[in-house]
Amino acid sequence: AVGDAALPQRMEKTQCVPSWRAGSQSRVLKLRGGAPPVHAAGVVPRIIIAGAPASGKGTQCEFIVQKFGVVHISTGDALRDQVKAGTELGKKAKGFMDSGALVPDDLIIGIVKDRLAAQDCQSKGWLLDGFPRTGAQAQALAQAGIKANKFILLNVPDKILVERCVGRRTDPVTGKIYHLKFNPPPSDPEVQKRLVHRSDDTEEAMKKRIEQYHKNVDAVKGYYKDIMQEFDGTGDKLALAKNIAGFVETK
């Protein structure tokens, strides 16, 4: 099992397409860069995005990738890629995963550091999605020499987070995530039949995840206060995407 050092195995996605890249949205953006790099003042973006579960990180990650061409990195995906590739780090992680133990932070940090050292991240910049989650992980990143130049924090009230989460349904074939109220799935009976409601997308489970998030977020913020901007994650997705883009483009 991958513990709090890795992301959930799915990523939030959206059907909305930002005005600056209409029609170019890819279905899943895991460890790939999007559009050609758009870097302000020659600075390669090194971005961390944080927020509670269901705060809209996945949606905004897609917009950021499309706008700036950075490489979107999910620690969960990076971990699974290392295991699949049979690297030394992957072999060590697999031992913990196969035994049902949490993958230690130092191993996750090693995997992240290895991924960020890749040529695409160096040339395009990177977007680290939902990591670090704890103060200890933020400290470990700093000690490993991994420095962001923008830290984005999405704030959404707990009640709305729960509502977003409980209504989510995933299409295992396309990877798309719908919401029964806010982003309904197609009426196609085949799609309707195969939709999955994750076991941890319940009100009880979500409240526990939110509680865990609140316990750790202040410690994480403390490491990035000089490069951080907080955003209201409850409004229009496109308006939020434009505000975030403006922040990323500032010197």
What's the rounded Cα separation, in Å, for the pair 32 and 24?
A: 14
What's the rounded Cα separation, in Å, for the pair 89 and 221?
A: 28
> Looking at residue 170, what DSSP letter applies?
E
> Looking at residue 196, what DSSP letter applies?
B
228-232 sheet: strands from edge to edge: 71-74, 126-129, 46-51, 150-155, 228-232
Q: Which of 67, 124, 133, 169 is catalytic?
A: 133
> Would you call 159 a catalytic residue per the annotation?
no
> Would you call 27 a catalytic residue per the annotation?
no
Q: Which of 150, 168, 169, 237 is catalytic?
A: 168
What's the rounded Cα separation, in Å, for the pair 249 and 105?
A: 31
Helix (H, G, I), strand (E, B) or coil at 38: coil
Q: What is the CA radius of gyration of the chain?
A: 17
Q: Which of 46, 67, 80, 209 is catalytic?
A: 209
The pair of three-digit structure tokens given for residue 2, joined into one six-digit string: 């991958």
> Would you call 115 a catalytic residue per the annotation?
no
Q: Which of 10, 13, 46, 57 is catalytic?
A: 57
> Would you call 57 a catalytic residue per the annotation?
yes
> Would you call 133 a catalytic residue per the annotation?
yes
| Alpha-carbon separation of residue 250 from 76, 131, 206, 228 (angstroms) | 30, 22, 35, 12
Q: Which of 92, 194, 198, 221 is catalytic?
A: 198
Catalytic residues: 57, 133, 168, 198, 209
